[in-house]
Amino acid sequence: MKLIFEKGAAGRGCSILPECDVPAVDAGSFARKTPARLPQVSETEISRHYTALAKQTHGVNDGFYPLGSCTMKYNPKINEAMAALPGFTGVHPLQEPETVQGSMEVLGKAEQYLCEITGMDRMTFQPAAGAHGEFTGLLLIKGYHTARGDQARTKILVPDSAHGTNPASAAMAGFEVVNIPSGADGCVDLDALRAAAGPDTAGLMLTNPNTVGLFDKNILEITRIVHEAGGLCYYDGANLNAVMGVVRPGDMGFDVVHLNLHKTFSTPHGGGGPGSGPVGCKSLLAPFLPGKMPVQGPDGWQWETPAQSVGDVKAFYGNFLVVVKAFTYILSLGRMGIPAAAKNAVLNANYLMYRLKDHYTMAYNHRCMHEFVMSLEDVKHETGVSALDVAKALLDHGIHPPTMYFPLIVHEALMVEPTETETKETLDEAADVLIEILEEARRAPQSMHQLPLTTPVGRLDEVTAARKPVVRYDFSAGQAG
Ligand SMILES: *Cc1c(COP(=O)(O)O)cnc(C)c1O
């Protein structure tokens, strides 16, 4: 497909901007010397270009997207309608509080509701993504220990069933990462945890339900061990989808939590727009929160900077319009709808797992939460067909593959998360397709290595794409380069 720079002709264009109604300003030395080399295309060409691009991808609006750990649930259109209201899109972050009371109320109420859902006392919306939230939460833990004059706590305990971003964020925040193994049941090994927790423990980072889709049954014991050692407990709540409105991290003993609004709270992700990874904390960590916090006083909403703030982690109030979308979702579902969504997410995952478990090997053979992990190790051994081959085969059936080769503790893993927004028919179709693919793997394993056949591109050179991405257009050569 041609790039937009390769389309159009000199002088062609479309006037989508209104006539300038303010005096032009001479930008002086800041002005560019040569005109920008923008594509000169008609509105028809632009429209066709982006429609063609949109058809080459696969989103939740195209079909089933069971990408484990990513919660690709349907994004209700009403969220977009609310976020597009001019009262939200037209505000400036430096406006006087009395002129933006409505937007401040959205932040204040969203904080209040999400604190209610997580069992936390305060929450910041500054972090722009889950991993950014983890980093922020760890800064809070660091700020807390530092303020107490306890410099010895340099280690963060991270179970091996944690999301990959957890150890990365701990290292980014300047901590040493101590890996805690899982037992055969997929839960944290308590003896290993007891042995590792001590006076150098700053805290623990736990993903629960963990990356194999299991709710750790020893959760209260885990947080007790860490607290007794003087550490704090961080809850990776990116995937709160299995438990929201049912149980609360705060009640499990956690001091700080991040959420991914762009997963659990139905705001778009995966190329669909910016994210939001708010961080909630118990009141002992609130003085360290970044940015400005909305507080409601007798004269309305005001901004307040926390006393011992760790400093800004992003400009102003984070990705505000994402919060508007998530807030809309919370209000649409309400007190009954939120736990119902969580329970249906768990039901859908278990339904699909049970439809598949006589055909595929499940990594853990008990009831799952919002997702489950299959291991294709035996299939690969028997037929040479790998998890990757099965994932590619799904593409020819219009299904986005599950997450592959993650979590690392399961070999040939496929991690499936259907979400609550899929119907039983979709789940049945997906199960039929997966069973059919397995039969095909046994019948004609060689042909499986060539799939997919129906997508715009086949198998990609993922290493070169990651190591040497071509992201700029070279005008002199007239090509991407
Ligand atoms: C997705 C995810 C993250 C990271 O979130 P990003 O927004 O991609 O940075 C962290 N933890 C878990 C458990 C996740 O599923």
Written as one letter, the residue type at 277 is G
Residue 473 has what pLDDT?
A: 85
Pocket probe mutation, ligand 1, options 239, 267, 313, max atoms within 8 Å of Cβ: 239
Q: Residue 112 and residue 430: Cα distance in Å, rounded?
A: 38
**Residue with CA nearest ligand 1 atom 4:** 130
- If one counts every other C-beta atom within 10 angstroms of the C-beta of residue 241, the result is 27
Q: Residue 396 and residue 394: Cα distance in Å, rounded?
A: 5
Virtual CA dihedral for 381, 385, 386, 392, nearest 10 degrees?
Answer: -170
Q: Residue 387 and residue 291: Cα distance in Å, rounded?
A: 44
Residue 370 has what pLDDT?
A: 94
Q: Which residues of 283-304 are buried (b: 16+ CB within 10 A; e: fewer)?
A: eebbbbbbbbbbeeeeeebeee
Pick from 24-28, 34-38, 292-296 the range whose average pLDDT is largest.
292-296
Residue 441 has what pLDDT?
A: 97
Q: Which ligand 1 atom minimizes the distance to the CA of 133? A: 9
Ligand 1 centroid–CA 17 distance in Å is 38
Average confidence (pLDDT) over 270-297: 93
- The two tokens of residue 436 are 């059919």
Residue 207 contacts residue 182 (beta carbons within 8 Å): no
CB 129 near ligand 1, within 6 Å: yes
Ligand 1 centroid–CA 65 distance in Å is 17
Residue 57 has what pLDDT?
A: 87
**Residue with CA nearest ligand 1 atom 3:** 130
Q: Which ligand 1 atom minimizes the distance to the CA of 134? A: 10
Higher pLDDT, 477 or 118: 118
Cα dist. 335→7, 39, 113, 213 in Å? 51, 49, 10, 25
Ligand 1 centroid–CA 212 distance in Å is 14
Domain 339-466, what fold? Aspartate Aminotransferase, domain 1 (3.90.1150)
What's the pLDDT tens digit per position in 359-409? Answer: 999 998 788 999 999 999 999 999 999 999 999 999 999 999 999 998 888
User: What is the band of 122 on the pLDDT scale with cuts at 50, 70, 90?
Assistant: very high
Average confidence (pLDDT) over 106-112: 98
Q: Residue 340 and residue 44: Cα distance in Å, rounded?
A: 44
CA angle 57, 58, 62 (to 5 degrees): 125
CB 260 near ligand 1, within 6 Å: yes
| Exposure of 200 in the CB half-sphere (CA atoms within 13 A) | 9
Average confidence (pLDDT) over 134-143: 98
Round the average pLDDT of the chain to a whole number and report it.
Answer: 94
Q: Which ligand 1 atom minimizes the distance to the CA of 277? A: 7
Residue 36 has what pLDDT?
A: 86
- The two tokens of residue 267 are 């705001």
Ligand 1 centroid–CA 64 distance in Å is 20
CB 207 near ligand 1, within 6 Å: yes
Residue % of the chain over a pLDDT of 90: 81
CA angle 36, 41, 42 (to 5 degrees): 135
- If one counts every other C-beta atom within 10 angstroms of the C-beta of residue 115, the result is 20
Q: Residue 290 and residue 101: Cα distance in Å, rounded?
A: 21
User: What is the band of 18 on the pLDDT scale with cuts at 50, 70, 90?
Assistant: confident
| Number of residues that make up the chain | 481
What's the pLDDT tens digit per position in 48-64? Answer: 999 999 888 888 989 99
User: What is the band of 14 on the pLDDT scale with cuts at 50, 70, 90?
Assistant: confident
Higher pLDDT, 84 or 27: 84
Q: Which residues of 2-24 are buried (b: 16+ CB within 10 A; e: fewer)?
A: eeebebbeeeebeeeeeeeeeee
What's the pLDDT tens digit per position in 344-367? Answer: 999 999 999 999 999 999 998 788
Range with the poorest average pLDDT among 16-25, 193-202, 379-388: 16-25
Residue 375 pairs in a beta bridge with 361, 413
Residue 176 has what pLDDT?
A: 98
What's the pLDDT tens digit per position in 45-103? Answer: 999 999 999 888 888 989 999 999 999 999 999 999 999 999 999 999 999 999 999 99
CB 130 near ligand 1, within 6 Å: yes
CB 41 near ligand 1, within 6 Å: no
pTM above 0.75, yes or no: yes
CB 72 near ligand 1, within 6 Å: no
Residue 42 pLDDT > 90, yes or no? yes
Ligand 1 centroid–CA 260 distance in Å is 7
Residue 289 pLDDT > 70, yes or no? yes
Residue 478 has what pLDDT?
A: 74
Ligand 1 centroid–CA 130 distance in Å is 5
User: What is the band of 271 on the pLDDT scale with cuts at 50, 70, 90?
Assistant: confident
CB 236 near ligand 1, within 6 Å: yes
Where are the domains positioned within the chain? 78-333, 339-466
Residue 468 has what pLDDT?
A: 93
User: What is the band of 252 on the pLDDT scale with cuts at 50, 70, 90?
Assistant: very high
- Which of 213, 219, 266 lies closest to 78 in space, CA to CA? 266
Pocket probe mutation, ligand 1, options 165, 261, 403, max atoms within 8 Å of Cβ: 165
CB 127 near ligand 1, within 6 Å: no
| CATH top-level class of 78-333 | alpha beta
Residue 481 has what pLDDT?
A: 62
Q: What is the 3-state secondary structure (H, E, C) of the chain?
A: CCCHHHCCCCCCCCCCCCCCCCCCCCCHHHCCCCCCCCCCCCHHHHHHHHHHHHHCCCCCCCCCCCECCCCCCCCCHHHHHHHCCHHHHCCCCCCCHHHCHHHHHHHHHHHHHHHHHHCCCEEECCCCCHHHHHHHHHHHHHHHHHHCCCCCCCEEEEECCCCCHHHHHHHHCCCEEEEECECCCCCECHHHHHHHCCCCEEEEEEECCCCCCCCCCCHHHHHHHHHHCCCEEEEEECCHHHCCCCCCHHHHCCCEEEECCCCCCCCCCCCCCCCCCCEEECCCCHHHCCCCEEEEECCEEEEECCCCCCCCCCCCCCCHHHHHHHHHHHHHHHHHHHHHHHHHHHHHHHHHHHHHCCCCEECCCCCCCCCEEEECHHHHHHHCCCHHHHHHHHHCCCCCCCEECCCCCCCCEEEECCCCCCCHHHHHHHHHHHHHHHHHHHHCHHHHCCCCCCCCCCCCCHHHHHHCCCCCEECCCCEEC
Ligand 1 centroid–CA 181 distance in Å is 20
- Which of 133, 125, 283 lies closest to 205 in space, CA to CA? 133
Ligand 1 centroid–CA 203 distance in Å is 19
Residue 178 pLDDT > 80, yes or no? yes
Cis-peptide, bond into residue 249, ω within 30° of zero: no
CB 161 near ligand 1, within 6 Å: no
Average confidence (pLDDT) over 211-219: 86
**Residue with CA nearest ligand 1 atom 15:** 69
Ligand 1 centroid–CA 164 distance in Å is 8
